[in-house]
Structure 1
Amino acid sequence: MRSAEAARYARASADVQQYYAQREAALFGRLSDQRATTVWLAEELLPAAVARLQKGEPASEILQSVTFGEHLESEFAEALRAALRTLLEAVEAEEHTRDSSQRALVAIARRVQAIVHQLAKDLRDMQILHGTDVVVSHGLQDIDHRNALIGRLAASIAVLGDARPGRQWAKAIPLYDVVRGAMSRIVDYPRVKLQSVTEVAVIGQGAEPLIHLLAELLDNATTCSPPHTPVEVTASEVPSGIAIEIEDRGVGLTEEVRQRIDRVMAQASSGIDLADLGEATQLGLSVVSRLARENGFDVDLRTSAYGGVRAVVLVPRRLITTVQQTAPKVQQFAPKHTGAPIVPRPTMTRDAAADSV
């Protein structure tokens, strides 16, 4: 009897142990599936879904395309789906707010640019009318220069709103005139010294972005270096395009400043939000990064041999063309130079003029 009872107890105990072992294995399997699904959700699904949202796909379509698999419990799958829905709806609302803010920003910038263009036209007409009066002509040139500074700020706002600077040239612009145009848009332009500029031209599509990018770098160079020191500019041909070097004699770059610059430019390159700007008034590096990303320029900032900063802008060869030789003109007496930079003012295309209004 006792041996039979012991045998039944042993069998029952073995059955119980087997049951709980199977139960434990099943629970560990479910836990492993849930853990793997959660990791997949965080590392793969969410980034891909947010990327699709940023490309304009609605959250509802993304949710319909997501399946969690039949191996998961329905309650767990529904909980994940609800969490994903909440997150995507929040991101979608944020993207709509960001797009609306950027559109408003660009609209304001375009209105300011329209006023700037009209004022520049009026000033040119007044310079033609009063060009013989040295005092009046000098004053008009000073107003024209300050008007160009306002135009640059409006263009920077448009660029931060993920739009083009505004102008589009119908013809290629000589690189020398591009650099001079950038000089005309900064306050301390007399300190900029052109050492040598290779004789090439920039196609109309790339001229305005390059002018604006160089203006921002020249402004940084003159602002961050002693007022009595020059800022030297050279442009030479390299195998991959044209290298434009801007070198100042300021305080240089500390490791902390370099890291901050890299962070700002990386952030602007991947996209910038109005909240990212905060109360900062220095928008130059963010604008430079956006223009470089959109137009294929390479920008490198390093410490110069003079202890200041040396900025190198590489313009790709696809944006470079030869300088068109114009027919010789009858020589005329040149007007007296009053100190302000004289830069060419090519006519905008009709489409670009319409975009500026």
Structure 2
Amino acid sequence: MPPAGTSPEVRVPSTAPTWLVPPALLGAAATAALVLTPDDAAEAAAWTGAGVGVLTVGFLARLAARRRAETHALRAHHAEREAELRRRLRVQEAETVRLAAELPVAVTRLQEGALVDEALAGLATGSGLTPELEEAHQVVLRSVIEAVEAEEGLRDSAQRAFVNIARRVQAIVHQQSQDLREMEDKHGDDPDVFGDLLHLDHGTALIGRLADSIAVLGSARPGRQWQQDVPLFNVLRGSMSRILDYRRVDLHSVADVAVVGPAVEPLIHAVAELLDNATRYSPPQTRVHLTAVEVQSGVAVEVEDAGIGLTDEARGRAERALAHASAGLDLDDLGETPRLGLAVVGRLAQANGFTVSLRPSAYGGIRAVLTVPQRLVTVTSAPGGQIARAASLPPIRQRPWPTSSDPAPGAAPGTRTGAAPVPAADPDLPARAPKRPTGPRPSPAEEPSAADLPRAANGLPQRRRHPNAQPPRGMRPAAPPPPSPAASDGPAEPRVEPGIWLAAFHNGVSGEPAAADPSRRGDDEPSSEGE
């Protein structure tokens, strides 16, 4: 059996002095012959035995020397072979380590859309390998890359299926929202029906947010796209309208900035997910605080709740979930009972450059800070943004008050015929167009100039009373006589629907575009087309 650590095909000769055995046996035989032979033949036998012994010893000595030379040669060959094998093992180990380091790079290239041959071409061929081993490595690498490509194909198919399902749901939700808007306009004079329609409209918005979340998890954009910049205040209001417990959210100070159009919908959705988590995992009697302040790197949106908070371990898991989603979340990682909130926020943050951090809140809960980069923030076009423009009410209709000689057609005595102003809708969405006045307006040319006015005793101009001037606010004109039958047959003033103001308010809260007058449609109207 060969010694341990030696090659099985190399035999190492024994180092014991076995060549001494034949001379010893020969000497013993010669001694026995001398003892047994007669005296007259003993001398001849002794010389013969001595000669044979010398020859034998010489032959054996030469044979032993030859064996020693062969032994040294075999040992040298064995050492060389062992060194070569060790060198090959080191080369193979280095090649295996190199492939282990480069294989993830090839898989990443494959996930980014590269072909199998392109991914394999990026792997350098190691030197010092035998052709057989190098070919075996290439076969193994190709098998691994092809398996990864097949898995990526299945994952992409699943993501596309998710996105297609989400798009179908979004289309249904969009159509449902349009139908609800028409019903709200139709039944605006019935408070009970109108309230139920608003409740259904809010539920439809929640379904739309869920469909948007599924689309985001499938590496797609949310359905809606905005072409114009939107004030940050309106963006946060839109986020509040997409959660169930929006009444618990207190919107505090908001930076007077605007968000660029492509980032509006992702920011609305990300803040809505943070608000939903804050209201869902905090006591129902507590408030959720929402603020937005300017920082050096952009704008920081803070969501604070008064829940039970998170331990260091739980907060670490949540931050790892955000980081994992930002790095690229697989749908298989969601599990059987997926939690979409942080996963959706992470995907939106990765796609748009947001940064999200979780910290302990002063109210005992969690403080989520979402930072919008400076490149996605711009200044508003007017002081206060579109909020200031939307806060101004439509001009009051200037209609002449009826007199005894000029009664107002169809007007009751002592009543004002002007239509009441309608509050503007949410400025981040198209507002409902107010009904245009049809009555005569005083022309600026009809107003008397200061030179034409009569002078008082002190030299100052004295304003003359206009025959159709309106009385001061709070004063009522004298009751005119009853209108004539001919005047009462004139066209009646269009009646303002009682539910229009509530629909306008709900449009601002729900974040859904209202059916505006085409003549009022301007550049600030966002595009509601999906991706």
TM-score where L is the length of structure 1 = 0.92
* Aligned match of 1:40: 98
1:212 to 252, 261, 269: 269
Q: 2:529 maps to what in 1?
A: 353
Determine which of 258, 261, 276 is the counterpart of 1:201. Answer: 258
Report the counterpart of residue 279 of structure 1 in structure 2. 336
In 2: Cα distance, 1:141 partner to 1:272 partner: 36
In structure 2, distance between residues paired with 1:242 and 1:70 = 54
- Number of aligned residues: 352
CA RMSD of aligned residues (A): 2.2
Report the CA distance between 1:290 and its aligned residue.
Answer: 0.4
Whether the 8 Å contact between 2:394 and 2:422 is mirrored in structure 1 is no
Q: Say if 1:7 and 1:277 are closer, same or farther in 2 by CA, change over 3 A.
A: same
For 1:228-267, list aligned pairs within 5 A: 228-267=285-324
Of residues 294, 303, 323, the one that matches 2:360 is 303
Contact 2:319/2:357 (8 A) holds in 1: no
Structure 1 residues 196, 67: closer, same or farther in 2, change over 3 A? Answer: closer
Runs of 5+ unmatched residues, structure 2: 1-57, 396-420, 424-500, 514-524
Cα deviation code 1:173-216 (max 9, x no counterpart): 11111111011110011000011111111111110000000000
Q: Give the SS at the match of 1:132.
A: coil
Tell me, in whole angstroms, the C-alpha distance in 2 between the residues paired with 1:230 and 1:124: 31
Q: Alignment partner for residue 342 of structure 1, among 508, 511, 529?
A: 508
1:95 maps to 152
CA contact (8 A) 1:180 1:341 kept: no
Secondary structure in 2 aligned to 1:185?
A: coil
- Given candidates 176, 181, 184, the residue that maps to 2:238 is 181
Tell me by how many angstroms 1:294 deviates. Answer: 0.6
Corresponding residue SS for 2:324: helix
Q: Would you say the 8 A contact 2:95–2:126 is kept in 1?
A: no
What is residue 403 of structure 2 aligned with on the other side?
none
CA contact (8 A) 1:183 1:341 kept: no
CA offset at residue 14 of structure 1? 2.0
Q: State the shift of 1:341 in Å.
A: 7.8
Q: How much has 1:42 moved relative to structure 2?
A: 1.1
* Separation (CA, whole Å) in 1 of partners of 2:202 and 2:321: 29
- Does the aligned pair in 1 maintain the 2:248–2:288 contact within 8 Å? yes
| Cα separation, 2, equivalents of 1:267 and 1:110 | 25
- Structure 2 counterpart of 1:41, one-letter code: L
Instruction: Output the amino acid matched with 2:66.
Output: R
* Range moving further from structure 2, 188-197 or 77-86: 77-86
Using the TM superposition, give the Cα deviation of residue 150 of structure 1 relative to its aligned residue in structure 2, in angstroms: 0.3
TM-fit CA distance, 1:339:
9.0
Q: Do 1:142 and 1:340's aligned partners in 2 also have CA atoms closer than 8 Å? A: no
In 1: Cα distance, 2:530 partner to 2:340 partner: 26
> Does the 8 Å CA contact 1:184/1:341 hold for their aligned counterparts?
no
Distance 1:278 1:130, change over 3 A: same
Structure 1: tracts of 5 or more residues without a match: none
Cα offsets for 1:20-39 (capped at 9, x unmatched): 11111111011111111111
Q: Does 1:109 align with 2:166?
A: yes
Change (3 A) 1:284 1:131: same
- Tell me if the contact between 2:283 and 2:307 (Cα under 8 Å) persists in the aligned partners: yes
1:8 shift after superposition: 3.5
Distance 1:264 1:60 in 2: 34
1:17 and 1:112 map into 2 onto residues whose CA distance is: 80
2:300–2:371 Cα contact (<8 Å) kept: yes
- Distance, in Å, in 2 between the alignment partners of 1:73 and 1:299 is 52
* Aligned pairs (5 A) from 1:286-297: 286-297=343-354
Do residues 27 (structure 1) and 85 (structure 2) align? Answer: yes
- Any residues of structure 2 matched to 1:3-152 within 5 Å, and which? 5=63, 7-43=65-101, 45-63=102-120, 66-152=123-209
Report the AA paired with residue 342 of structure 1: G
User: Structure with the greater relative contact order (CA < 8 A, sep ≥ 6): 1 or 2?
Assistant: 1
Moved more, 122-131 or 196-205: 122-131
- Cα distance change, pair 7–70 in 1 and its aligned pair in 2 (3 A): same
Amino acid at match of 1:164: R
Q: Which amino acid aligns with 2:152?
A: E
**Native 8 Å contact 1:130 1:137 kept in 2:** yes
Q: Higher helix fraction: Structure 1 or Structure 2?
A: 1
CA contact (8 A) 1:173 1:204 kept: yes
Q: Aligned partner of 1:207: which letter? A: V
What's the secondary structure of 2:310's corresponding residue?
A: coil
Rounded Cα–Cα distance in structure 2 between residues aligned with 1:66 and 1:237: 47
Classify the secondary structure of the residue corresponding to 1:249: coil
Deviation at 1:261, TM superposition (A): 1.0
- Counterpart AA for 2:78: Y
> What displacement does 1:324 show?
2.2
Write the distance in 1 (CA, Å) between the matches of 2:365 and 2:505. 27
**SS at 1:252's partner residue?**
coil
CA distance in structure 2 between the partners assigned to 1:267 and 1:280 by the alignment: 18
Query: Could you say which structure has the larger radius of gyration?
Result: 2
2: distance between equivalents of 1:224 and 1:197?
A: 24
Secondary structure at the aligned position of 2:346 is classed as helix
Secondary structure of residue in 2 paired with 1:42:
helix
Give the aligned partner of residue 398 of structure 2.
Answer: none
Counterparts of 2:85 and 2:103 in 1: how far apart (Å)?
26
Aligned-partner Cα distance in 1 for 2:336–2:187: 42
Does the alignment pair 1:313 with 2:370? yes
SS, match of residue 353 in structure 1: coil
Percent identity for Structure 1 against Structure 2: 52
> Closer, same or farther in 2 for the Cα pair 1:281/1:52, shift >3 Å?
closer
Q: How far off its partner does 1:230 sit?
A: 0.2
Deviation readout 1:269-296 (Å, 9 max, x if unpaired): 2222222112124210000000011101
Residue 336 of structure 2 aligns to a residue in which SS? coil
Q: Tell me the secondary structure at the aligned position of residue 237 of structure 1.
A: strand
Q: Does 1:330 align with 2:391?
A: no
